[in-house]
Structure 1
Amino acid sequence: MPKRAKELSPIELKRLAPGLHAVGGVAGLCLQVAEGSGRSWLLRTMVGAKRREIGLGAYPEIGLAIARQKAAEVKALIRSGLDPIEQRKVARAELVAAQKRGLLFCKAVDLFEPVKAAELSGGKYRDHWRNSLDTYAIPLLGQMLVQDIDLQDILLVLEPIWHTKTVTADKLRRKLAEILDYATVKGHRIGPNPARWQGNLSMVLPSPTSTSGEVNHPAIQLKDAQRFWAALSNRGGMGPQALRFQSLTATRPGAVRFMTWAEVDLNARLWTVQAGRQSSKIPRRDDPKRVPLTEEMVALLNGLPRQASSNLVFWAPRGGALSDATLAKLLRTIHEANLRAGGTGFVDAKTGEVAVPHGTRSSFKVWATDHTSYDWNLSEAALWHKLGSKVEQAYARSDMVEKRRKMMSDWAAFVTGSPGA
């Protein structure tokens, strides 16, 4: 039977000369004393068929009692069939790999931003993409590694604004999900995305649509449509012309304000807006949007003065595109003038708010749904809304432009009060 080493006391440890000294308590536990003041713990033991010398740390940072405890734990691992040295190598390799994968959330935002910018429309939408991230997410998540972000971290960002700024919060959630998906694909995190909605946040947050309390843009009531058209037609200038064209086409004000003659084919009676064009709100990955031009629209376009220095269809007097505020102010001016003349103005039926240019799209949708027999999808296509599921969208190659031409002619007849409206 091998001789057992004497169990040394802490005081005896301090008196040891340079060399390797068994300290007892656990077979093979030694204190290695170097020339000078360096001392460290060493466990000499057999691992399988190999003799191993396993370092347990420096003395006196690790005292005698802790060294004996660690030695006993290592020997227990060996008895269970594990090699502590190989385990350390694996753990060290995993740590190095994790450090290489480590990516701060703020850095992930910086890396993903140019990727996202490629699919965004230009102008303010691209410039303002990260505003909500900077305001609400970066202060809380910025210095966290993306691999450490979990559901509770996402909730810390979203819950304070989910009920009060629901639209902003929902858009922010989508951005967080995209950034974390990007980090996963790049190898910086593993596991499910804590910002995904379905089966995740949907279980702990109310649906955005039930929380936001959003209403549509204030719209001109159908009973006031012809009265409004008459008031608008009495005004000259590019602003009223642009608002008339936007009303007839039921397109977004931004799409009209930045419309160019290069997009117009008067012979084919088509206006084509390319994906990603400024203020069109058409994602870059989508197909171009075509608008059938009716007789009223063509007559309006043919009557417009052109500016030699610009290709814009509707241009501001001082050059460049009309501002969004110009059209909104024009509609409000018409409303106030009608009130002064003893009229009721032009307000939304539900909210009583003054109508805005974007609201003409709602007016068109109500007309098409409640006052015509046109198919729902036809009016949705006219509004540039996506139709059906992603699978249905993949097979929907036609934009039904000729069918829409007849519908838009009927809409123009209704708005202008033409015979047969």
Structure 2
Amino acid sequence: MPRKAKELSAAEVRRIAHPGTGGNHNVAVGGVDGLQLQVTRTGARSWLLRVTIKGRRRELGLGPYPDVTLAQARDRARAIKQVIWEGGDPLADRRQLTFAEAMERTLEARTAEFRSEKHRKQWRATLDTYAIPILGDMGVAEIDVRDVLRVLEPIWATKTETASRLRGRIEAVLSWATVAGHRKGDNPARWRGNLDAVLPKPGKVAKVKHYPSLALDDAPAWFADLRGREGMATRALEFAALTAARSGEVRGATWRELDLEAGLWIIPAERMKARKEHRVPLTAEAVALLKALPRMQGSAFIFPAARGGPLSDMALSAAMRRIHEARDGGYLDPRSGRPAVPHGLRSTFRDWTAERTDYERDMAELALAHTVGSTVERAYRRSDMIEKRRAMMAAWGRFLKGEAGAKVIHMEAAR
């Protein structure tokens, strides 16, 4: 007669960790025979129930920990054992879960990962538009590579970025279904060693989206037009130009992120595209702009909308459009001939560093908060070149004001 496992407390379960060697580490938690916490070498933890169904030993996933608590896992385990005792097959019942239902459960489980409600809606909308019409009514256990390809192939070449994100989201739904015990085997939406054998790499087919930017020779005139206008959206656009920051980073900026004495704007990781904290050196012009701004009582935002929330993306676009309308023909991108947009200011800055200065490429990329270098190089890079970037941004500000039309040679190069 096998000895019953000790009934562990929630605190004891919380302390269970992988020993560092071997494969998955399974620990019986007691309370229900066969209930275990499975810990992978990466630290991922989930519930597993080992049972005998009609003479066959089976393993059932009960969900990820800590999303599913110890008490909930024991309740689920008892319910499954009751079904078995009554002669039922819990696995047969589970296989009826559809992709649409699994998507809803995945969204619930991943709520904490979404940066905002907008991000959650985007995640769902992609699946609703492309995956649900094909996979929605299918049982998750039935979906294979051919089904995933039916979703992806029609848009892989024409909407590559969307298709690539969609593939990752389908993979996430099917991964949840596997961990929760609703399907077995490999994930048919996995890229490496799977779909990469039948679909071209996204980078080979994706068309790079270039935002219309200002011509370098037009930038000083545009900046003068901008500074001659009033309005919160106009000041936000001016700040975006001086800092080469993304529109969303500027619109979501709060006073707590600023250190005006040190001339620093520190954007927290959760607001950055790369999910890494970014330090922006503020020039004298940027600091003066900020100090002159009125502060709205009850709002934390530097550039608030009328009701105190952040400005919308359309507000900056509208401010840019008004500048175009006031100038015959507007300010056009020299490559596409289209009117420049707020995000295109970053391209103008990058063109300036490449064509009118001798600043290092990496320094310009750091200013734009782009990932620079290989994984190894990033591991050894300890500095974000903040003071060198401060001098570069000051030179950029002078260029925008029309004070530095000639090629910039910074002091280190001159020496």
Q: What TM-score, normalized to structure 2?
A: 0.71
| Amino acid in the other structure paired with 2:255 | W
User: Are residue 106 (structure 1) and residue 106 (structure 2) matched?
Assistant: no
The aligned residue for residue 173 of structure 2 is 179
| Distance in 1 (alpha carbons) for counterparts of 2:313 and 2:145 | 39
SS of residue matched to 2:266: strand
The aligned residue for residue 353 of structure 2 is 368
User: Are residue 347 (structure 1) and residue 332 (structure 2) matched?
Assistant: yes
Cα displacement string for residues 4-42 of structure 1 (whole angstroms, at most 9, x for unaligned residues): xxxxxxxxxxxxxxxxxxxxxxxxxxxxxxxxxxxxxxx
Q: Is the 8 A contact 2:127 2:166 kept in 1?
A: yes
User: Are residue 249 (structure 1) and residue 237 (structure 2) matched?
Assistant: no
Measured after TM superposition, the shift of residue 92 of structure 1 is 9.9
| Distance in 2 (alpha carbons) for counterparts of 1:324 and 1:108 | 33
Structure 2 counterpart of 1:297, from 286, 309, 313: 286
SS of residue matched to 2:345: helix
Measured after TM superposition, the shift of residue 371 of structure 1 is 2.9
| Change beyond 3 A, Cα 1:208–1:374 | same
Structure 1 counterpart of 2:314, from 305, 320, 325: 325
The aligned residue for residue 158 of structure 1 is 152
| Distance in 2 (alpha carbons) for counterparts of 1:187 and 1:376 | 49
User: Are residue 313 (structure 1) and residue 307 (structure 2) matched?
Assistant: no
The aligned residue for residue 369 of structure 2 is 384
User: Are residue 412 (structure 1) and residue 397 (structure 2) matched?
Assistant: yes
> Number of matched residues?
327
| Distance in 2 (alpha carbons) for counterparts of 1:316 and 1:165 | 33
Comparing 149-158 and 185-194, the one that deviates more: 185-194
SS of residue matched to 1:118: helix
| Change beyond 3 A, Cα 1:317–1:138 | closer
| Distance in 1 (alpha carbons) for counterparts of 2:216 and 2:142 | 54
| Distance in 2 (alpha carbons) for counterparts of 1:407 and 1:272 | 18
Structure 1 counterpart of 2:234, from 240, 243, 250: 240
Q: What are the residue-to-residue correspondences of 1:248-287 with 2, within 5 Å?
A: 248-276=242-270, 280-282=271-273, 286-287=275-276
Q: What are the residue-to-residue correspondences of 1:122-161 with 2, within 5 Å?
A: 122-161=116-155
| Distance in 2 (alpha carbons) for counterparts of 1:183 and 1:100 | 13
Comparing 240-249 and 305-314, the one that deviates more: 305-314
| Distance in 2 (alpha carbons) for counterparts of 1:294 and 1:364 | 15
SS of residue matched to 1:206: coil
SS of residue matched to 2:319: helix
Measured after TM superposition, the shift of residue 392 of structure 1 is 4.3
Q: Is the 8 A contact 2:140 2:182 kept in 1?
A: yes
Comparing 297-306 and 317-326, the one that deviates more: 317-326
SS of residue matched to 2:269: coil
| Distance in 1 (alpha carbons) for counterparts of 2:112 and 2:382 | 24
Cα displacement string for residues 152-196 of structure 1 (whole angstroms, at most 9, x for unaligned residues): 111111122223333222211121122223333444434333222
Q: Is the 8 A contact 2:272 2:278 kept in 1?
A: no
| Distance in 2 (alpha carbons) for counterparts of 1:374 and 1:418 | 18
Structure 2 counterpart of 1:403, from 388, 393, 406: 388
Cα displacement string for residues 86-139 of structure 1 (whole angstroms, at most 9, x for unaligned residues): x98449999947436634322322222134332232141223221010121122
Measured after TM superposition, the shift of residue 328 of structure 1 is 0.6
Q: What are the residue-to-residue correspondences of 1:7-22 with 2, within 5 Å?
A: none
Q: For structure 1, which runs of at least 5 residues remain unmatched after alignment?
A: 1-86
Q: Is the 8 A contact 2:268 2:277 kept in 1?
A: yes
| Amino acid in the other structure paired with 2:401 | T
> Percent identity, aligned pairs only?
47
Cα displacement string for residues 19-72 of structure 1 (whole angstroms, at most 9, x for unaligned residues): xxxxxxxxxxxxxxxxxxxxxxxxxxxxxxxxxxxxxxxxxxxxxxxxxxxxxx
| Distance in 2 (alpha carbons) for counterparts of 1:392 and 1:185 | 35
Greater Cα radius of gyration, structure 1 or 2: 1
Measured after TM superposition, the shift of residue 141 of structure 1 is 1.4
| Distance in 1 (alpha carbons) for counterparts of 2:99 and 2:216 | 50
Measured after TM superposition, the shift of residue 307 of structure 1 is 1.8
Q: Is the 8 A contact 2:299 2:309 kept in 1?
A: yes
The aligned residue for residue 5 of structure 2 is none
The aligned residue for residue 220 of structure 2 is 226
Measured after TM superposition, the shift of residue 264 of structure 1 is 0.8
| Change beyond 3 A, Cα 1:302–1:395 | same
Q: Alpha carbon RMSD of aligned pairs, Å? A: 2.8
| Distance in 2 (alpha carbons) for counterparts of 1:389 and 1:99 | 47
Q: Is the 8 A contact 2:263 2:283 kept in 1?
A: yes
SS of residue matched to 1:147: coil
Q: Is the 8 A contact 1:121 1:282 kept in 2?
A: no
| Distance in 2 (alpha carbons) for counterparts of 1:334 and 1:351 | 19
Q: For structure 2, which runs of at least 5 residues remain unmatched after alignment?
A: 1-52, 61-87, 409-415
